[in-house]
């Protein structure tokens, strides 16, 4: 398969190196286009008011892996790769392996997920891989799982263009409980801002919130009620795989709002 690999931890991060090298060793054609530095939590931001620059990266990945460092965001990297750097579109866009999980509502902030979603927006299926540790850069087991999942997708292609958000618990692989199909959960934080004073006497704030446990969740009526959340699955030692899309339209919300008088007769009654 032709694979485009990106991330938000930067082109020199150990997670993307493990991912790209495992995929190349499996015989895939791998091109890496990543930010030139860490771009975590940038969401789906794009660079609009300054030029993007790219430099070839050598000596970091296995021979045969073509790699580029881009001055932009994760979404910039994928958009630039698809629009300018690659001569042929990839079969799959892959992002990761992120250092730290991307679970629940955190995916709205995630550069890792956004890079993969950029592929979906261009009509290419995608996978985002994240490892549930912010501090331990041990990605070999996660890299092997990523290789095996991509091999499976090669033999059993997705029938729809979607994103698989994969979160791998930070446990020895022999302690993984299995793999679960999951729905997106909820992540809430204390959102604690530490107030500090810099050497010049100016006040600044540092976001230092911590994740809350056992946050109440609602189940989307369109999903099976028994489907576990990604948050719960990883907490129990399972690898979670959540199919995602970029269309955020709330179906039941459409049904509810359709009954508003505001929209009767095309809304003309509310026009002055």
User: Over 70: is that where the pLDDT of 272 sits?
Assistant: no
Above pLDDT 90, what percent of the chain? 76
**What confidence tier does 215 reach under pLDDT thresholds 50, 70, 90?**
low
pLDDT for res 188: 73
Higher pLDDT, 267 or 247: 247
Mean pLDDT confidence for 65-94: 97
* Cα–Cα dist 222/231, whole Å: 19
Query: 148 vs 91, 145, 231, CA distance in Å?
Result: 16, 5, 23
Higher pLDDT, 232 or 192: 232
pLDDT for res 256: 87
Query: 252 vs 205, 219, 222, 249, 267, CA distance in Å?
Result: 39, 13, 9, 9, 20
In tens, the pLDDT along 132-180 reads 998 888 999 999 999 999 999 999 999 999 999 999 999 999 999 999 9
- Flag whether the pTM goes above 0.85: yes
* Cα–Cα dist 121/138, whole Å: 31
* Cα–Cα dist 70/76, whole Å: 8
How many other CB atoms are there within 10 angstroms of residue 257's CB atom? 11
* Cα–Cα dist 56/65, whole Å: 11
pLDDT for res 247: 92
pLDDT for res 137: 85
Domain parsing of the chain, residue ranges: 2-186+223-255
In tens, the pLDDT along 9-50 reads 999 999 999 999 999 999 999 999 999 999 998 999 999 999
CATH 3.90.1150.10 is the classification of domain 2-186+223-255: no
pLDDT for res 217: 66
Helix (H, G, I), strand (E, B) or coil at 91: coil
pLDDT for res 257: 85
Among 84-98, 196-210, 232-246, which is the least confidently predicted range? Answer: 196-210
pLDDT for res 255: 86
């Amino acid at each position: 398969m032709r694979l485009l690999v990106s991330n938000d931890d930067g082109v020199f991060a150990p997670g993307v190196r493990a991912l790209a090298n495992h995929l190349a060793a499996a015989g895939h054609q791998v091109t890496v286009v990543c930010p030139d530095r860490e771009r975590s939590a940038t969401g789906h931001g794009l660079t609009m008011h300054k030029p993007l620059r790219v430099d070839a990266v050598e000596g970091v990945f296995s021979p045969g892996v073509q790699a580029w460092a881009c001055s932009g965001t994760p979404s910039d990297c994928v958009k630039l790769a698809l629009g300018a750097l690659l001569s042929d579109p990839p079969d799959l866009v892959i992002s990761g392996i992120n250092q730290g999980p991307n679970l629940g509502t955190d995916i709205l902030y995630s550069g890792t997920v956004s890079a993969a979603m950029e592929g979906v927006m261009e009509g290419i299926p995608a996978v985002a891989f994240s490892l549930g540790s912010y501090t331990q850069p041990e990605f070999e087991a996660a890299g092997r799982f990523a290789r095996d999942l991509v091999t499976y997708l090669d033999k059993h292609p997705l029938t729809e263009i979607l994103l698989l958000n994969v979160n791998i618990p930070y446990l020895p692989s022999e302690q993984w409980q299995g793999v679960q199909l999951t729905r997106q959960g909820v992540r809430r934080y204390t959102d604690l801002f530490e107030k500090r004073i810099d050497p010049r006497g100016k006040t600044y704030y540092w976001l230092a919130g911590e994740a809350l446990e056992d946050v109440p969740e609602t189940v989307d009526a369109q999903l099976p009620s028994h489907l576990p959340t990604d948050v719960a699955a990883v907490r129990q030692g399972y690898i979670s795989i959540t199919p995602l899309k970029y269309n955020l339209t709330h179906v039941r919300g459409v049904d509810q709002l359709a009954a508003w008088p505001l929209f009767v007769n095309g809304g003309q009654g509310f026009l002055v």
